[in-house]
Structures are given as structure tokens and as C-alpha cells.
Amino acid sequence: MHRATLRRAPARNAAGSAYLSSVPAVLLEAIRLAADEEASLNALSQAIMRDASLSARALALANSPLFGQRRSVASVDRALVTLGLRNVRTCLLSGALMEALKNQHQGAIDMKEFWQESLLRANIASAIAASVAETLRSRAYLVSLLADVAVPLLAGTDAGYAEAVREVHACQLSIAELERGRQGRPHAQVAAELCDSWGLPASLSGPIARHHEPPPAGRAHDPDTLVWQLAYVAGNLPLARLGAWDPSLLERGAAWFGMPSSTLSHTIEVGIECFAAQAEAFASVLPEDCSAEAILEVARGLARLRDEG
């Protein structure tokens, strides 16, 4: 990978204007390592400790009530050990990415609601992966976290798109369904191009590009297809649009993951519960305008998903 790609490679639209400025190189390097299941905590730690903001976030998260430390965690290396590899990959990097992107096209859509839904989908994908292929858990989380990252960028460059996105829930449509009735590139394609421009691996951008395309039927025998299936299920759950619930999604997912539909439904609820349990931890790392209380309230409301489905 070329370091220059990590430094400055903003995604661009067809006219050549930049969608957004570059994300800090150290954060991109940390995300790249987080997507690599072979990467060690030490490798991630070395990247994180090169950045003052990421280091401060690690200390804040390690000292949050979620980890119940009797003594204050004062060093970054100790903070990262306290957090553990999975929490570094998820809570810490999620908060840092949200902070890096928080001012991009601010006001086009409700960014608090956007990140809440992205975090929820990431937790659901992670929970399903834990039952199917533990080694893909971090990659599934990151794919679902980044899958819709182009939505606010497209909304910021197209007022009509922004208005339609704001009305998606009321109209009982998904953003993918909305885009099929409009001209222009779908957000999944733009998100994948954005990840490519950031120098992130194809193991992330590939499933992101296809997360609204139905995967092949049957059990997957390769990790890339399995991550695609995980991203598809997490990305197409109706969440706040319970009236649009499609029972066949559970049936297809159950066939892909080799479990009964009832087990998959329960696993989705586990992801929702994980999302709710992280609310307090996220308070230490989220941008100021994205409150942990709001995240918790969303999680409680979405716990109705299985019952009302």
C-alpha cells in the first residue's frame, strides 16, 4: 500500500469535485489493521499511539465505567490492554471516524441518527459473525459501519437527495429503494470508491459495494462471500421502518448462516443489546452532538424488531 494514498486521496464525483477532505492517515492505518484478523493488538497500539487524539480517546474509554478499573489508567499502552483488541477495533475507531467526518456537509441530514443506525447495523453484523465465523467479526463490523458512509456526502451535494433521505422512514422505503428511482450513482458504489481512495483494503470495499445486492444462495465457502452475506442482512434490516419488514430476509439469512430463522432473529437481538450496552462507553468517544442517551433510546425502541416482525 502506498502511504501517499493514505495521506490525501479524497473521493470525487464525476465532475471531479471532492466529496470530502481526507481522514487522518493514522486513523486510516488503524482501520486497515483492524480489518486484518491477523493483526495483533501491539500493531494496532503502535499506530494509535502515534496520534494524540486517538490516544486521548483510548484513555477516556479505558477509564469509563464500562471497564470498572479500580485505579485510573494513565498510560496509552495500558489503556489499550484494558480495552482489548475487539473494543479497540470497534468502540475506539468508530468514535474517531465519526469525529473525523462530523463536519462533512453538516446539516444535510441528521448525523446523530445516521451514526446511530450505522453503529447498530455494525453491532448486528458483528453478533451474527460471532455465531458463524468469529474470525470475521471485526471485518463484518467495519463493513457495516462504513457501508452507508456516502449517504451524508451525497446528501450534501444534492438537496433533492437530502430531502428524500430525510423522508425515507416516513415513506417506508430503504435508501437503496429510494436510489433505484433516481438518477445518479448509488451510495454503496460511492462508499466503496471512498474506501478505495482512502487506501482501505478490498476486503472492506468489496462487500460495501455489494451490500444491497442479493448474495448467491446457499452456504458460503469463502470469507468474502460470507462477509457480503453478513453486510446484506445487516444493511437491509428495516430497523426504524418496521412496517417494511421482509420475512424472507430472515429465511435467506438463516440458510446462508446455517441456523434456524428463530436463532438468527435472536442473534439480531443480541446485536441490539450489544449496541445498547455500549452506549455508556460510546459517551467517551462520540462527537459531542451524538449522545449516548440517544443511542440507548434508539436501541430500546429497536428491541421491538423481532416481536413486530
Domains of the chain: which residue ranges?
Answer: 106-308
Fold of 106-308: Hypothetical protein af1432 (1.10.3210)
In this structure, of 98-112, 134-148, 154-168, 251-265, the range with the lowest mean pLDDT score is 98-112
pLDDT band at 10 (very low <50, low <70, confident <90, very high): very low
Which three cell numbers, joined as nine digits, stand for 76? Answer: 496509552
pLDDT at residue 274, as a whole number: 81
Q: Tens of pLDDT along 39-48? A: 888 888 888 8
CA 297 to CA 76: how far, in whole Å? 31
Residue of higher predicted confidence among 51 and 70: 51
Residue 83 has pLDDT above 80, yes or no: yes
CA 88 to CA 204: how far, in whole Å? 18
pLDDT at residue 102, as a whole number: 73
CA 134 to CA 122: how far, in whole Å? 14
Residue 281 has pLDDT above 50, yes or no: yes
pLDDT at residue 192, as a whole number: 94
The one-character DSSP state at 71 is S
pLDDT band at 288 (very low <50, low <70, confident <90, very high): low
Residue 7 has pLDDT above 60, yes or no: no
pLDDT at residue 276, as a whole number: 76
The one-character DSSP state at 260 is -
CB atoms within 10 A of CB 205: 20
Residue of higher predicted confidence among 99 and 59: 59
Q: Answer for the pair 7, 20: CB distance below 8 angstroms, yes or no.
A: no
The one-character DSSP state at 293 is H
pLDDT at residue 202, as a whole number: 93
pLDDT band at 64 (very low <50, low <70, confident <90, very high): confident
pTM over 0.75: yes
Chain-centre distance for alpha carbon 213 = 18
pLDDT band at 91 (very low <50, low <70, confident <90, very high): confident
pLDDT at residue 110, as a whole number: 78
Most confident of 25-39, 80-94, 220-234: 220-234
Which three cell numbers, joined as nine digits, stand for 234? Answer: 445487516
Q: Rounded mean pLDDT of the chain?
A: 79
pLDDT at residue 241, as a whole number: 52
Residue 19 has pLDDT above 60, yes or no: no
Q: Vertex 121, ends 119 and 123: CA angle to 5°?
A: 70
Residues 6+ apart with CB under 8 A from 164: 178, 182
CA 156 to CA 287: how far, in whole Å? 19
Closest by Cα among 253, 281, 278, 277 to 266: 253
Residue 211 has pLDDT above 60, yes or no: yes
Most confident of 9-13, 102-106, 108-112, 224-228: 224-228
CA 285 to CA 208: how far, in whole Å? 24
Start-end of H helices in 102-246:
111-132, 137-146, 150-157, 159-166, 168-171, 175-180, 187-197, 202-209, 223-236
pLDDT at residue 8, as a whole number: 34
pLDDT at residue 133, as a whole number: 92
Count of residues for the chain?
309
Residue 231 has pLDDT above 90, yes or no: yes
pLDDT band at 34 (very low <50, low <70, confident <90, very high): confident
Averaged over 23-46, what is the pLDDT? Answer: 85
